[in-house]
Amino acid sequence: MPANKVPDIVVGRLPLYLRALSQMAGEGKEITSSQELGGQLGISSAQIRKDLSQFGEFGKQGTGYNINFLFDQLKRILKIERVWDVVLIGAGDLGSAVANYGGFLDRGFRIAAIYDNDPEKVGQPVGQFLIRSTRNLIDEIRTQQIKIAMLAVPASEAQQVSEKLVEAGIEAIMCYAPTSLFVPDNVRVEYIDPLLHLQHMTYYLPE
């Protein structure tokens, strides 16, 4: 099924399945079932089967799923059988923590550069990187043909920076800023705002 025909909520569950399969493979398991996956993720087995059927047939009734095979197929569907270069904008506390996180590469992503607009930070090391000036951002991203950016700047700066990223050819933005970005329809934006999740959780807490 073409990607644009698959509901986005289904695509959003695929990384959860991928993570669960990785954990199972790490435990030495070879076969799993929709029931086992569902029990681990809190998703019904019927929903898992329905989700996977959007992309083909990956298991057989009565025998379940070969974990390594399904893992490889999901990586192919999510286009992470390759490594994607990513630029990180913002070298404050959050950006520095993201830059030093070591879990991206084995999941299909590599931070290629980190940028900031603070002259006192430019040229300073963050992990294995030297912070670059945002003045050169557009030309350098175009030259490297990078398509993904992570945005760790204050909310007041996020829109302006996102417009530069779009001009540079970025097609997907992971935004840590607590704001909403206005970008062209062909640019995908995902938001990570811990405050929203905290506010969601407190609804369920007793008074």
97-132 per-position pLDDT tens digit: 999 888 888 889 999 999 999 999 999 999 889 999
Give whole-number Cα distances, 74 to 14, 24, 61, 130, in Å.
7, 15, 19, 34
Residue 204 lies in a domain: no
Q: Is 81:91 a contact under the CB 8 Å cutoff?
A: no
Q: Is 115:88 a contact under the CB 8 Å cutoff?
A: yes
Among 30, 51, 77, the domain boundary falls at 77
Q: How confident is the model over 87-97, as pLDDT tens digits?
A: 999 999 999 99
Residue 202 lies in a domain: no
Residue 40 structural domain: 3-77
CATH number of the domain where residue 192 is located: 3.40.50.720
Residue 189 lies in a domain: yes
Q: Is 75:108 a contact under the CB 8 Å cutoff?
A: yes
If asked whether residues 73 and 90 sit together in one domain, one would say no
Reference 168, options 134, 141, 132; nearest CA is 141
Order of all β-strands in the sheet with 64-66: 31-32, 64-66, 59-60
CATH number of the domain where residue 55 is located: 1.10.10.10
In the beta sheet, which residues pair with residue 151? Answer: 89, 175
Instruction: Express as a percent the part of the chain with pLDDT over 90.
Output: 84
If asked whether residues 184 and 104 sit together in one domain, one would say yes
If asked whether residues 95 and 166 sit together in one domain, one would say yes
If asked whether residues 91 and 182 sit together in one domain, one would say yes
Please give the Cα distance from 112 to 131 (Å, whole number): 11
DSSP state of 145: T
If asked whether residues 101 and 72 sit together in one domain, one would say no
- The pLDDT value recorded for residue 4 is 57
Q: Is 181:162 a contact under the CB 8 Å cutoff?
A: yes
Q: Is 170:138 a contact under the CB 8 Å cutoff?
A: no
Q: Is 17:74 a contact under the CB 8 Å cutoff?
A: yes
Distance of CA 70 to the CA centre of its chain: 20
Residue 205 lies in a domain: no
SS3 111: strand
Confidence band of 154 (pLDDT split at 50, 70, 90): very high
If asked whether residues 70 and 88 sit together in one domain, one would say no
If asked whether residues 73 and 128 sit together in one domain, one would say no
Confidence band of 207 (pLDDT split at 50, 70, 90): confident
If asked whether residues 19 and 96 sit together in one domain, one would say no
Please give the Cα distance from 124 to 206 (Å, whole number): 47
Give whole-number Cα distances, 8 to 4, 69, 190, in Å.
8, 23, 12
- The pLDDT value recorded for residue 5 is 84
Q: How confident is the model over 28-79, as pLDDT tens digits?
A: 999 999 999 999 999 999 999 999 999 988 866 667 899 999 999 999 999 9
- The pLDDT value recorded for residue 105 is 84
- The pLDDT value recorded for residue 1 is 45
- The pLDDT value recorded for residue 62 is 66
For the chain, the domain total comes to 2
Reference 159, options 132, 145, 137, 177; nearest CA is 177
Residue owning tokens 């407190």: 202
Q: Residue 177: is its pLDDT beyond 50?
A: yes
Residue 61 lies in a domain: yes
In the beta sheet, which residues pair with residue 76? Answer: none
